[in-house]
Amino acid sequence: MRETEHISVAIVGSGGAGALTAGNFLLEAASLAGWHGLLTRTVGPQIRGGEAAALLRLANRPVECLADRIDLLVGIDWLNVDRFGAEIEIGPQSLVVTDPAGGDLPAFVSRAGARSAEVPIKDIAKSVPDGRPNMVALGVAAGVLGLSEQDLSAVIEKRLAEKGDKAIDASKAALKAGIIAAAQLDLGLRLPPPKARDAQCWLVSGNEMTGLGAIRGGVRFAAAYPITPASEILEWLAPNLAKVGGLLFQAEDELAAINMAIGASFGGTPALTATSGPGLSLMTEAIGLATATEIPVVIVDVMRAGPSTGIPTKSEQADLNIAVYGLHGDAPHVVVAPQSIADCLFTTQWAVYLAEVLQSPAVMLSDQFIGQAVAAIDRPADVAFIGRRATAVPQMGAYKRYAVAGGGVSPMAIPGMPGGQYTADGLTHNERGIPTSNENDHRVQLDKRRGKLEQFSYGDHWATLEGDGEVAVITWGSLTGAAREAVNQLRAGGFAVRLIAPRLLLPAQPERLQAALEGVDRVLIVEQTHGGQFHRYLRAHYDLPIEVRLLNRPGPLPIRASEIARAVMEWRS
């Protein structure tokens, strides 16, 4: 049996068969054993009765992207699983566990020439009172991976506690039967024994980390309108904001949600709303209002494939253009993007901080991949960014809400403060906030709003910069994990390659990127769009070396680390 750095597992089945539950339990048990792991789910559009796959990658180090190939594929049944063929790459070395009662092997499996082993999952489940096939499948996967029955039983007891002892006992019995059935199977691979952890282990999704980052940053009001794949942020915030004395409020649409958030923030409460592309489209007018009235607000966009309704359950990076350029008029604002599940915590907290300190809307571009994936991560370090806007202590009659002196950020009066009364106005206004169509007032306030964003020092958080060499891979957002893995592979093979991934997309940081590109003569741009939006963004805001190549693809197929590494290698030779 060969030792390997990482093992990938897929558990698939028709909707309701419980493949995702089995995947979640498997990740949690592996985390208890001490491994790191990443779990993504891929589902059809149906809420019930579709098909579902849990894709899991386990390793002895943090995992930020999927592997090229699935090593172990367990099919609870094969109904409609062909639809996922392109997302579940298997090869001749892969082991496929199939239940003869679950239908014929899908074409993409038989084509791959993988080893297959028959396990009568349904019959085994039937042999256990109240046994469910997904728990048998979990046992099979656990047995093949060598996970302990004890860890899995602990997970079952914790996660099914509300269902009662009967359900727990049935699941444990089905699990055990699956482990026994797996005794005859040999994957030919095993992970090295887990290393002792440096930190507490968290089992989290990016959307949950976004919620926590918001609260840590100081958000105490969230306006919610449900949308896939952002709803989990709002559903996490609803009970947890209440626990810290805050409030989540459901709006009638996204137009209302963003305006509610702005209204709350005008009243002095740091506020956020979360949505996806269609909702961001509806919110853009009011984001411009927040720019004009200089009211802090955070808008999280968990990107999905577009345009229009697109593919709600699949990831893409194609909202970059609307986030950067979507506002009418000259409307400077902040755009940031988290780079991993763990980084959703930091970047959201930072977005709140920037919005508050700069009195500006801040758009955070997360995506379905990091939003809905679950990972076993080390507890992220605490960061000091807590949103604190400058508030005014106005003197009666003398207060200028939009005073230009003092670097562009002018102290904000909050309702309740005597002498601070002003009208926040989307109309062009002067220093006092009074509407004007005067050319000078207009320019002075445009200068003020741009200046405060451009003069601010964003620190080293503006980008991830790793390695050196004459070739740079530039990417952003959730692709940073795959790019990092590719760069690390290349460097292990003796190639000097660097990784550049801006976390701050707006305002652009030309001098910093210039410094990061010092000595680089070739740039590979990697992005998950059809139209090369990030490439055009970089061209618009930065000077790039002469030799630039683009590796891009729309969703939903992720760009793999191996593709990035291959693109660099091919270019070198």
Q: Which residue in the set 193, 415, 510, 531 belongs to the binding site for another protein (CB under 8 A)?
A: 415
**Residue 176, helix vs strand vs coil:** helix
Q: Which is nearer to another protein, 202 or 534 (CB)?
A: 202
Per rule CB under 8 A, is residue 203 in the interface with another protein? yes
CA atoms within 13 A on the CB side of 533: 17
- CB distance 142 to 56 below 8 Å: no
Among 7, 215, 233, 354, binds another protein (CB under 8 A): 215
Segment 289 to 328, residues that bind another protein, using CB under 8 A: 289, 293
| Secondary structure element (H or E) that encloses residue 117, with its range | strand 115-118
Dist CA 507 CA 15 (whole Å): 43
Which is nearer to another protein, 265 or 372 (by Cβ)? 265
Q: Closest CB to another protein among 377 and 479?
A: 377
Please tell me whether residue 426 adopts helix, strand or coil conformation.
coil
Rounded to a whole number of angstroms, the minimum distance from the CB of residue 200 to another protein is 5
Measured from the CB of residue 421, what is the shortest distance to another protein in angstroms?
5
d(CA 457, CA 477): 21
Q: Does 97 bind another protein (CB under 8 A)?
A: no
Based on CB atoms, which residue is closest to another protein, 269 or 488? 269
Whichever of 171 and 205 has its CB closer to another protein, that residue is 205
Assess 127 for contact with another protein (CB under 8 A): no
What own/partner pairs with CB < 8 Å and gap ≥ 24 does 230-235 have? 230/274, 230/275, 230/276, 230/279, 230/300, 230/301, 230/302, 230/371, 232/205, 232/207, 232/208, 232/371, 232/372, 233/207, 233/208, 233/274, 233/300, 233/302, 233/371, 234/274
82 burial (CB, 10 Å; 0-12 / 13-18 / 19+) is: middle
Site string for another protein, 254-293 (x = CB under 8 A): -xxx-xxxxxxxxxxx-x-------------xx--x---x
We find the least distance from the C-beta atom of residue 480 to another protein, in angstroms, to be 22
Please select the residue that binds another protein; options are 32, 191, 324, 513, rule is CB under 8 A: 32
Q: Are 109 and 90 in contact (CB under 8 A)?
A: yes
Bridge partners, residue 190, by sequence? 3
Does 421 participate in binding another protein (rule CB under 8 A)?
Answer: yes
Buried b (16+ CB within 10 A) or exposed e, 352-364: bbbbbbbbbbbbb
For another protein, the closer CB: 95 or 376 = 376
Give the residue, chosen from 83, 126, 159, 379, that forms a contact with another protein under the rule CB under 8 A: 379
When asked if residue 243 is in the footprint of another protein (CB under 8 A), the reply is yes
Give the residues lining the site for another protein (CB under 8 A): 28, 31-32, 200-204, 208, 212, 215-216, 220-221, 223, 240, 242-245, 247, 249, 251-253, 255-257, 259-269, 271, 285-286, 289, 293, 376, 379, 413, 415-427, 433-435
